[in-house]
Structures are given as structure tokens and as C-alpha cells.
Amino acid sequence: MTVNTALSVCPHDCPSACPLVVELPEPGRIGRVHGGEMAYTGGVVCAKVARYAERVHHPDRLTTPLKRVGAKGEGKFAPISWDEALDEIALRLREAADRLGPQTVWPYFYAGTMGHVQQSAINRLRRIMGYSEQAKTICSTAASTGWMAGTGAKWGVDPREIPESDLIVIWGANPAATQVHLMGLINQARKQRGAKLVVVDPYRTPTAEKADQHLCLRPGTDGALACAVMHVMFRDDLADRAYMARYTDCPERLEAHLQSRTPQWAAAITGLSVDEIEAFARLYGATKRSYLRSGYGYSRSRNGSVNLHAVSCLPAVSGAWRHKGGGACQSMGGVFDLRRTLLDGLDVPAAPVRILDMSRIGPVLTHDPKDLAGGPAVTAMLVQNSNPATVAPDSGLVRRGLARDDLFLAVHEQFMTETARFADIVLPATTSMEHADLYTSYGHTFLQVAKPVIAPVGESRANHRVIAELASRLGAIHPGFEMDEWEMIDQVLVASDLPGAEELHVLGGLDCAKVFEDAHFLSGFGHEDGRFRFAPEWKAEGLPELPDHLAVTDAADEAHPFRLITPPSRHFLNTSFTEMPTSRAQAGRPTALIHPEDCAALGAAEGDMVRIGNSKADIIVHAKPLAGIARGVVAVEGIWPDGFFAGGKGVNHLTSADPALPGGGAVFHDTKVWLRACHPERERGISA
Ligand code: SF4
């Protein structure tokens, strides 16, 4: 029997932005999801989206607006109508603004959907109403700051060149788990050209397992490794001096500065051996078709931007940018030239407002004067596409803030997340299968649109519509609030000199790839003088003038001898998919990966519980010995909701809201902790 299908696009915060072919076995229901045609994704999707029906038709989907009837965070709600819910939200936002001025209202969102239309409506409302701004720092800011410092442009070499590379370096990423398509291209290069794969990561990920060399360095020491690699390239005449003279700012200063950044110096900082560093440096310097894929992992550290800049200097020293299959990539997001005026309401003159750092939602909501920037307390919030109670750092502080009786909180969500449990009003949101949107990508160069493939589940409504309905109640006027989603997509595309919505839909996507010279920066880097900057203009005190190791991390000490990292799980995407039974079953349970000798020293065997703690909190997880992790490092993968932890507290109770230098960014992999064996039954016995 043939099953009807429809085309869609994956909305999740993943570099692949896959085109999808969705089976429609009966009206109102989706079935199996397959990969659609596109040169980058090659018709492949990840397992969690292949079974997306489990998520879309999950019995726990929110299907009606709800009003809180219990204590904040308790999760007791009663159904109400959409009109009651929207009237109440508009009233409470207006009352808060009348009392303390519009900046007391803080609309908060992130990348629960990557679709531009459903993401941007809240920003347009914010601008028109003069509500507080949000610094969107929680994911890519530290990486982007480091990359832009050197290249000055937010793109790199198209990953589709990887099959023509002789060496692929994956630095701080785990594509075998989180970017299946990139791994496919790497496998092609290995099969066809015998390309080598090197992985730089503080633990042995599935990608590192496949590598020819795994550099298992201490977290936050990537800048030191990069400096030593460049030292060797200069020392052994592997640096491309002609390239540097033509395309970079100060190669002589860099060479002099790196004289003392020897492999011995870096070995003491990184924990790697001198031989490992030498071998990698010689391989990298001698292989001109080397493709460096820079991930986000190593940017999530107080020195993350400085480290990322240091790593981005490697192809500028080796001259790899000149060669097919050579160069580097951090994000492809900058190849899309969308005019955002209509999306963000930029045609409306905006009042100057303060910018609140979304990664510091804990300090903001608990009235840290530095964060409030001289403005009023935040007393009203509308949250879309984000679950800060679980994903933001310093969860304990975030929850204290969300539990404030004087804070009005409305959350528009697909599921009853831990953030939604704190809400006064919860609104049911559509999934990408139920609304239209416009998608770019940060892993490839294809622009795509998607129409809804089924009707909204229950009474759920799309972000765009909900914000338009609130705007009308609040008196916010803008043409964007009058349009439906498709009309808006069409107008944004036409304003950007691109094919309209229908045409793009028929085309199945538009490749916005840059030509070779531009992608490889042979027509110049993004700075005014067209040169790569070894000496960035950080515009901040205390940062090194040239690539270096910046010792500002939360370094281990006697009381906290371990460093905690919190990488993603293959089966979740932040907290999305944690509601799916299959994903949960595959992910297992919250687990600490610990070096076997560290496990032995703790007296913990596989499956035993361990307590991980610092001055903020302590959490309980099961231990799993892993030989491929540096001594003194502990990794807890995935953002499991708190309820899945034996002690009721999740991993972000331990992480800090300190910003990465100099431009901000959450520092999820930069936490010193202690570890202790944990015997809950014995502990219960003692307290009884
Ligand atoms: S989560 Fe990533 S790999 Fe999976 S379908 Fe979505 S875009 Fe593709």
C-alpha cells in the first residue's frame, strides 16, 4: 500500500537542518520520517527524527491553555480558553509595565525551533513594546567571538569539500553522535583518499574512537595545544610564509611570540605527551589539504573564545586555505543574506533598552544589580522555544528566580517542561509539522521552507500566531503581526532578492554556497583590510594580544580535584527528545564517565552511584569507567531533566553563569568539582 507523504524540514538546533519526507498514514497523523533530497544530507536523517511521530503524537503533548492552581513549580494547572489565557497574559504584561516601565518585561527565547518566522515574532513584539533585550549567549556566542576575531566572517569552507581532504581535524565536536552527515563526508575522504582523521576532545567520544589520532587534552587547554602546533610549523619550516605575507596581519610577531610555546610547554598545560603534540603538528603542517572542523564544545569555557581564535589560526599558518579540501569551518550561518527587517520589526524606531544576558537568567531573576544594568527587576516574562530551568547554567539560582511570587511567567511550549511547571499560564505550541517556516543552517548552505503537513495537535497554536494575538491585545502595531506565516516567509525572501516562498518550496531548497575564492577567503578575509588577524581587536582588558593559553578557567584544586564537562547526548537535543521513551531508553540514565583509575580511587565500580559536587550543589549519578578520558575529568552527557537524577538535581545545578571572555557565552564545560562514592541506602540508614 502506498502511503501519502509530504515534505518538511527539521527545526531542531542541529547543523544539518535536514529536509524531511514525512509519511502521512491518516489525516492528522504523521508516520515514519525519512530524509529528503539534498546534496549535503544525502537523504539521511538521525534516528530520533526518523521516529518523530513518537514526539508529535506523544500523550504528554500540551493541548490546551492552562492556568496555575498550585504553588509555583508544583505543576498543578487547570485548563482555560485561549481568550482567557491571552487576556490574562496581556493584562499582566501591561500591569507590570505600568508599574515599573516596559523594561521590567523580559521576553525570553532560544533555538527550540530554528525556523526564522516562529523564532522572531517574540523579538518583534519586544522591540515595539520597549521590553528588555536578550543577549543570545547560551550556545554559539563564545565560539562566534573567537572565530570572528580571526576571520571576520561567519562562514568557512563548505563541508562538501571534505571528500577532497587528506586530513580532517575535528576539534571539540562529536559528529559521529551529533552530525551524522559530516561523518559520512569524512568516511568518503578516508575511503577514497586514505585521509587521516584527528580528533581533539577531552574524552573518547564515538568520533574519537574512529580517529587515527585522539588528542585527549584537559578541558580549557586548547589554546596551548594550538600554539604548540604553530610553534612546530614555524620551527620545521612547515608554515606557508608566502601565504601569510599576503593574507595575514603580523606573521613575524606571531613567530617571535610562539618561540616559547613549545610542545614541552603545551604538554605541561594540556596533559598530552610531547610526542603526541609533535606528531600532530608535523602531520597538520605537512598536509596542505587539511580540513579543520571547529566545534562548539571547547568554546564553552571562560577562555573559550581565546582558545577558538588560537585554533582558527592553524590554517592561516599552514596556508591550508589555499587548497581544495583545505581550510576550516566553524559555522556556515553567514552565507545566508536574509534581510531581517520584517522578521525583527527593524523598521520601527526602537527605544534604547538594556540587554539582559540569557545565560545569566539566574542572577537576573535574583536581582543581581550588575545584571539588571540599573533598570527595574524583571517581574514579567514570556518564554518560547527554551527551557531555562534545566538548560541554563546554575539551575538552582534559575529556579529560585522562577519561583518568585512577584514574577509573572507565561510559557508557550509543546510539553510540560521544568520551566513550564513554574508558569502562571502555559500555552500549547505547535511542532514544525503543524506550522510553516523558513530555515537556514549553520552546517550547510541550503535555504529551505516548509509548510505544515498536519493540522495543529489539540488546541496548540504557532508562535507567530500567538504573538500576533498578544500584539493586538497590547496595541503593538506592525505589518508582521497582520500576515500569516507563508505571507511573511514570501515577503522576507522577496526583500532579500531570493525566490518567493512557493518557488522555493517547489525547488526544494536553494544552495547559497559561496564560490571557491570567497569560501576560502582568497578574495580576502572579512576584516576591512582583508587579512586574517593573528592579533585580534578584542576590545577588552586582560586578553592576550596573540594566540595563547589564557589561565582563567575554574581550575581544579585540592578541594575540587576534578573538572566537569557536560557534552550532548546522541539521543537528545538539549532537553528536546527527553520526553520520548525510545530516546530515554537508548540514553540509559544520567551517568558520569570517569577514568578507571579515578573510579578505583573512589571505590566506585561500574553502575555504582557517585556524588559530584561543588559550592553550588551536589548531584547523584551512576558511574561508568572510561579508559579514554583524561584523569581528573568527569563527563556527564545530555541534559536530563532533574527528575531523572537520584537526588532530584540535574547537572546544571553545578555549572556557573560566569560569562566567557570577552563577549559572553555560557561556560558549561568549565567547572571544578569533587567526586565521592555514594551509598544512598547507607546514607538513608544513617539519617533514619
Ligand atoms: S536533529 Fe539534525 S540530523 Fe536529526 S533530522 Fe534534525 S537536522 Fe537532521
386-427 tens-digit pLDDT: 999 999 999 999 999 999 999 999 999 999 999 999 999 999
DSSP 389-411: HHHSSSHHHHHHHHT-TT-EEEE
User: Which residue bears the cell 553550588?
Assistant: 616
CA nearest to 569, candidates 176, 140, 294, 136: 176
Q: How far, in Å, CA of 215 to CA of 531, rounded?
A: 30
The architecture in CATH of the region 157-329 reads: 3-Layer(aba) Sandwich (3.40)
The pLDDT value recorded for residue 539 is: 79
pLDDT in tens, 648-665: 999 999 999 999 999 999
- Closest protein CA for atom 8 of ligand 1: 18
- Closest protein CA for atom 3 of ligand 1: 46
- Closest protein CA for atom 2 of ligand 1: 14
Q: How far, in Å, CA of 292 to CA of 314, rounded?
A: 9
Fold of 66-134+345-428+456-496: Rossmann fold (3.40.50)
Distance 49 CA to ligand 1 centre (A): 6
The pLDDT value recorded for residue 486 is: 98
Query: 398 CB under 6 A from ligand 1?
Result: no
pLDDT in tens, 582-625: 999 999 999 999 999 999 999 999 999 999 999 999 999 999 99
The pLDDT value recorded for residue 680 is: 67
pLDDT in tens, 93-146: 999 999 999 999 999 999 999 999 999 999 999 999 999 999 999 999 999 999
Fold of 562-687: Barwin-like endoglucanases (2.40.40)
Query: 429 CB under 6 A from ligand 1?
Result: no
Confidence of residue 679 (pLDDT cuts 50, 70, 90): confident
- Closest protein CA for atom 5 of ligand 1: 45
User: Which residue bears the cell 526544494?
Assistant: 508
CA nearest to 440, candidates 340, 550, 583: 340
| CB-based contacts of 47, cutoff 8 Å, min separation 6 | none
Query: 111 CB under 6 A from ligand 1?
Result: no
Region(s) of the chain under CATH 3.40.228.10: 157-329
Closest ligand 1 atom to residue 16 Cα is 7
Query: 45 CB under 6 A from ligand 1?
Result: yes
Report CA dihedral (125, 130, 131, 136) to the nearest 10 degrees.
Answer: 80
E strand or H helix that includes residue 447? strand 446-450
Residue 572 burial by Cβ neighbours in a 10 Å radius (0-12, 13-18, 19+): buried
Closest ligand 1 atom to residue 573 Cα is 1
Calculate what percentage of the chain has a pLDDT beyond 90.
Answer: 96
The pLDDT value recorded for residue 2 is: 83
Q: Which of 7, 8, 9, 10 to mutate for ligand 1's pocket (most ligand atoms within 8 Å of CB)?
A: 10
CA nearest to 536, candidates 140, 151, 141, 137: 151
Closest ligand 1 atom to residue 179 Cα is 3
The pLDDT value recorded for residue 681 is: 66
Helices (H), 130-273: 141-151, 175-178, 180-193, 206-210, 222-235, 241-247, 251-258, 263-270
User: Which residue bears the cell 500540551?
Assistant: 62
Query: 49 CB under 6 A from ligand 1?
Result: yes
Query: 180 CB under 6 A from ligand 1?
Result: yes
Distance 41 CA to ligand 1 centre (A): 9
Query: 16 CB under 6 A from ligand 1?
Result: yes
Phi, psi of 612 (to 5 degrees): -115, 130
The pLDDT value recorded for residue 635 is: 98
The pLDDT value recorded for residue 613 is: 98
Distance 12 CA to ligand 1 centre (A): 7
Q: How far, in Å, CA of 419 to CA of 358, rounded?
A: 14
E strand or H helix that includes residue 304? helix 304-312
Query: 17 CB under 6 A from ligand 1?
Result: yes
Q: Which of 13, 14, 440, 586 to mutate for ligand 1's pocket (most ligand atoms within 8 Å of CB)?
A: 14
Distance 403 CA to ligand 1 centre (A): 34
Average pLDDT over every residue of 216-240: 98
The pLDDT value recorded for residue 687 is: 42
pLDDT in tens, 136-169: 999 999 999 999 999 999 999 999 999 999 999 9
Would the pLDDT of 382 be above 80?
A: yes
DSSP 338-392: ---HHHHTTTS------EEEGGGHHHHHTT-HHHHTTSPPP-EEEEES--HHHHS
Contact present, 612 and 636 (Cβ < 8 Å): yes
Average pLDDT over every residue of 520-529: 98
Distance 187 CA to ligand 1 centre (A): 19
E strand or H helix that includes residue 633? strand 633-636
Contact present, 225 and 215 (Cβ < 8 Å): yes
Distance 439 CA to ligand 1 centre (A): 13
Q: Please, what is the average pLDDT of the chain? A: 96
Region(s) of the chain under CATH 2.40.40.20: 562-687
The pLDDT value recorded for residue 379 is: 98
Region(s) of the chain under CATH 3.40.50.740: 66-134+345-428+456-496
Would the pLDDT of 319 be above 90?
A: yes
Closest ligand 1 atom to residue 180 Cα is 3
Confidence of residue 688 (pLDDT cuts 50, 70, 90): very low
Confidence of residue 684 (pLDDT cuts 50, 70, 90): low
Query: 33 CB under 6 A from ligand 1?
Result: no
Distance 111 CA to ligand 1 centre (A): 14
Model-level pTM? 0.96
